[in-house]
A = this chain, B = another copy of it.
Amino acid sequence: MSVNSFGNILRLTTFGESHGFAIGGILDGFPSGILLDTDFIQNQLNKRRPGQSKITTSRNEPDKLRILSGVFEGKSTGTPIAFMVENSNQRSSDYHTIADSFRPSHADYTYSQKYGIRDYRGGGRSSARTTVSQVIGGSIAQHLLWPLNIRITAFTSAVGNIKLNKLPEELDFSLIEQNLVRCPDMEIAEEMTSFIEKIKDEGDTVGGIITCMIENVPAGWGEPVFEKLHARLGFAMLNINAVKGFEIGSGFDGIKLKGSQHNDLFFVENGKVFTKTNFSGGVQGGISNGQSIYFNVAFKPVATLLQNQKTINAALQEVSINPGGRHDPCVVPRAVPIVEAMSALVLADFFLLHNARKY
């Protein structure tokens, strides 16, 4: 049990806090001989990066990837790929006012209780900055899926009450990077952006949903009982900061359907198997069935407000705080590459496991 690791045959172990010299990780089990597209990795990092637009925090971290090992002349060597991103533009001073207080719905209190010690400079290990390592690890993992033509696409499908109501086949993924919220519908995106700006002006925050589509996963990945493919995906998503829910396929809405409505009927076309509907979300009995995998991930509103809030301090006295730092009004747009990265880690791991048995 490595509590800061994720995955089995392909395993990412991460380190680092919001403040400190660097954050990073080690990706172990990555096969040799694969040319790494570092532009792709850096680009995914840039999508997660703070300060990228008017609706994100104004902190400006360059987040420059540095690979420490496991790559020689551009190719993976089969040995652990270690990487780091130096922490810069840390304004610990932002946190002095709250060093002694437990911010509401933050991890300040729970970390104090767990560790008996607290790095008061910005949340330490609980900071969403730790997701930098996940984006890097997952973006490297993606390289294993490309030759199989597997395409992972995450996008914002809800912000507060504003929801994208489109069928998967109506989506135009090329629009995702055309707007600030990463929603594949320019009108809804505009609505979401305006709403986030309004919320930001109030010093408040709002939650949202990211939907992820994974195309071209072959049938047969996932394990029957305790490593169901969607359970691993759910586990991956629920480990992302601020996530409170996960549903695959019909999810929570599916409970309202009858079995006769919900069953995905098989049919054959050109010798290939398809289903007429896809309420299963591409996974049946924990194993991929060859249809598109899709799932929703719910992100709660960011806990850090630019408002006064009552709370308690370490001496259990009532205090009032106004964190006053530079934070996001809505975490969802920046979380899109994280959802993609964690999905890639899950799929690449199952791919290797699937290979293991194919002999």
Contacts and interface: CB of A to CB of B under 8 A. Distances in A.
Given A72-B124, A204-B259, A207-B255, 19 more contacts: A1-B1, A3-B225, A3-B353, A15-B26, A15-B82, A22-B69, A32-B116, A110-B220, A110-B222, A111-B287, A114-B221, A206-B257, A207-B254, A209-B252, A244-B247, A244-B249, A255-B300, A267-B318, A268-B316
A177 to B, nearest CB: 22
Contact of A305 (B234, B260, B351): B260
Contact of A84 (B68, B117, B205): B68
Interface stretch (A55-63, A164-172, A273-281): A273-281
A14 interface: yes
Nearest to A71: B20
Interface stretch (A4-12, A41-49, A181-189, A333-341): A4-12
A254 to B, nearest CB: 5
Interface in A214-256: 219-228, 230-232, 234-235, 238-239, 241, 244-252, 254-256
B113 A220 contact: yes
B265 A69 contact: no
A3 B31 contact: no
A305 B107 CA distance: 46
A260 B307 contact: yes
Interface in A300-359: 300-305, 307, 309-312, 316-318, 351-353, 355-359
Nearest to A231: B238
B68 A114 contact: no
Contacts of A110: 219-220, 222, 283-289
A4 B106 contact: no
A102 B263 CA distance: 12
Measured as residues with beta carbon below 8 angstroms from the partner, the interface class of chain A is 35 or more
A100 interface: no
A305 B199 contact: no
Contacts of A115: 32-33, 77-79
Of all A-B residue pairs in the complex, the 4 with the closest CB atoms, nearest first, are A107-B285, A245-B247, A205-B259, A207-B255
Which of A6, A24, A104 has the most B CB atoms < 10 Å from its CB?
A: A104
Nearest to A67: B21
A212 interface: no
A351 B299 CA distance: 27
Nearest to A290: B113
Interface in A118-168: 119, 123-126, 130, 144, 158-161
